[in-house]
């Protein structure tokens, strides 16, 4: 490929590669999986490509299309590895049906970097549909996609499912094995097949956004690369299948995203919803989100995501916490529980009930929820309980609840806000 930028220093190249790794690595990986048909080989090829780029770009400059360069280089690195392992003919016949000795270029028909941009953009979606193939156990589909497509760690995926990392690792291995054994194609399904895959695909996008919106662990409240990717993928799905729940999911993410600037202060500490400066909320995102909610509701065929988006829309349109229509939010949560019973939704409904009816009403609900095994090790259960107890004047009980929440919290900003709560008591 022709390098068109001036000679780059090693520091500039390293900074560029760091940025590419944060924002483009999963797209590069998805493209390599499509081309190579092997998860492990694609991951190794991607890392080889980044290592090669550090050396070559420092000497000859950063290419015009760095992502395409990484994909092409990773692909050639993988081919070299296949040759060394003498698995060349077997891999090519299974994955591409091409005789490599006759035409190497057929294995990767996009050598000119400007020709691959659209292909790269769609490869993440292709890979999601492959991971959500009906042949794969539904319990594995979402977990596999979160790990392999979106780059969440096994621990992060396990946290999203409230299960152990070892259990989740086994599920992911089984899912990769099924794709390999069943020769599931890495492609976007025909239009007639889309509805059967939609539920799993939307679950993936939803969980990716949740991890980005409120990271399960680490030093930051949010991971913007995950929220941006989830919104991008939802827009792609909507272009393929304009379904009510696609509208609802995109609306939910946009409405939550509208509050991004106010969710943490200058020190990276969490600012609770009732304390956020609503004048700083993104009104264009709110307008788009509300319009999508209305489109979804008008279909009369909505569900889980649309109801959550409707709740977010009530918050987004309220001038303050005190003037929020908590009665409507409680009703929406009650409807949501009928559609998708969940201890987490029950906990969220408890907050709305407490805001409407007072902290004692919330305490009574949470004390019942504490008997559910899914919430016994969930830090927000005890953080919520502590808040209700504090507002009810039960200081000693509130301290005990906050201390237990602190022992369970893994995200640094959440740990800090819990410490502040304890200090104030």
Name all domains of the chain by residue range, CATH numbers in brackets: 10-114 (1.10.1740), 341-425 (1.25.40.10)
The predicted pLDDT at position 4 comes to 47
Measured in residues, the chain has a length of: 425
Give the pLDDT confidence of 370-393 residue by residue, as tens digits.
Answer: 988 888 889 999 999 999 999 999
Residues of the chain below pLDDT 70: 1-9, 85-121, 215-222
Tokens of 197: 């895959």
Coil/strand/helix, residue 299: coil
**pLDDT computed for residue 351 by the predictor:** 95
CA–CA distance, 279 with 369 (Å, rounded to integer) = 35
CA 360 to chain centre: 35
Question: What's the predicted TM-score (pTM) here?
Answer: 0.71
- C-beta separation of 248 from 296 below 8 A: yes
DSSP state of 164: -
| Residue partners of 90: CB distance under 8 A and separation at least 6 | none
Cα angle 368, 396, 379; round to 5: 50
Model pLDDT, residue 120:
52
Q: Could you give the 3-state DSSP secondary structure of residue 264?
A: strand
* pLDDT at residue number 91: 53
């Amino acid at each position: 490929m022709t390098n068109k930028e001036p000679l780059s220093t090693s520091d500039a190249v390293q900074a560029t590669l760091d940025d590419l790794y944060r924002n483009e690595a999963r797209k590069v990986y998805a493209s390599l999986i499509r081309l190579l048909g092997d998860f492990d080989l694609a991951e190794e090829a991607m890392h080889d490509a980044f290592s090669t780029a550090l050396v070559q770009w420092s000497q000859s400059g950063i290419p015009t299309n760095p992502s395409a360069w990484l994909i092409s280089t990773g692909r050639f690195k993988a081919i070299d590895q296949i040759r060394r392992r003498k698995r060349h003919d077997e891999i090519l016949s299974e994955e591409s049906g091409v005789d490599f000795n006759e035409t190497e270029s057929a294995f990767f028909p996009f050598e000119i970097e400007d020709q691959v941009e659209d292909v790269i953009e769609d490869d993440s979606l292709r890979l999601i549909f492959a991971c959500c193939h009906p042949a794969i156990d539904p319990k594995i589909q979402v977990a596999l996609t979160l790990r392999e497509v979106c780059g969440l760690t096994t621990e992060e995926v396990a946290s999203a499912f409230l299960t152990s990392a070892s259990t989740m690792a086994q599920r992911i291995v089984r899912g990769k094995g099924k794709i390999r054994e069943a020769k599931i194609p890495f492609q976007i399904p025909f239009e007639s097949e889309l509805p059967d895959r939609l539920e799993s695909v939307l679950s993936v996008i939803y969980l990716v956004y949740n991890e980005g919106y409120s990271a399960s662990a680490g030093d930051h409240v949010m991971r913007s690369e995950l929220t941006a990717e989830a919104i991008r993928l939802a827009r792609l799905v909507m272009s393929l299948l304009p379904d009510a729940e696609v509208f609802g999911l995109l609306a939910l993410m946009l409405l939550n995203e509208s509050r991004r600037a106010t969710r943490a202060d200058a020190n990276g500490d969490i600012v609770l919803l009732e304390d956020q400066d609503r004048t700083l909320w993104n009104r264009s995102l709110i307008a788009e989100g509300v319009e999508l909610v209305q489109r979804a509701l008008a279909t009369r065929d909505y569900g889980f995501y649309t109801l959550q988006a409707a709740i977010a829309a009530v918050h987004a349109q309220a001038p303050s916490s005190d003037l929020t229509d908590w009665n409507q939010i409680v009703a929406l949560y009650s409807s949501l529980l009928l559609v998708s019973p969940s201890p987490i939704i029950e906990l969220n409904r408890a907050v709305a009930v407490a805001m409407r009816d007072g902290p004692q009403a919330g305490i009574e609900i949470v004390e019942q929820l504490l008997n559910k095994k899914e919430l016994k090790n969930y830090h927000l259960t005890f953080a919520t309980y502590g808040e209700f107890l504090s507002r009810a004047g039960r200081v000693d009980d509130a301290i005990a609840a906050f201390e237990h929440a602190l022992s369970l919290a893994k995200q640094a900003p959440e740990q800090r806000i819990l410490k502040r709560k304890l200090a104030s008591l």
